[in-house]
Structure 1
């Protein structure tokens, strides 16, 4: 009986250690993923600003070209 109790205790300790390791890894991955999402969000924001600048520049460029051709 004592041996079975010891085995059960060892098993419980092993599971607790595995759970602790799992939770630490999960937290690490969550923090890494959160940082990656934030970085990509910033990159997408900069890309959007660049596209909007180019989109606003294109009609102006066409207007200047038309003005030069008509002149």
Structure 2
């Protein structure tokens, strides 16, 4: 049964968890990969679907797909 609560309908449109872009630095061979974040820290994530040197979307500690390699700008407000 569909909900008529507008807030619940809105929340259903927003994906759970934070999604960020990281560069894959190594495939571990056991279903995980090493990924480097923009701040230079390295994390281990699930999945090996993105090649080393490419950028990937990471969500909930798992590779969700290949991210485009675009220019990054940092602006301080």
Same fold (TM over 0.5): no
TM-score by length of 2: 0.22
TM-score by length of 1: 0.23
Which of the pair is proportionally richer in helix? 1
- Higher gyration radius (CA): 1
Which of the pair is proportionally richer in strand? 2
Q: Which has the higher contact order (CA 8 A, sep 6+)?
A: 2
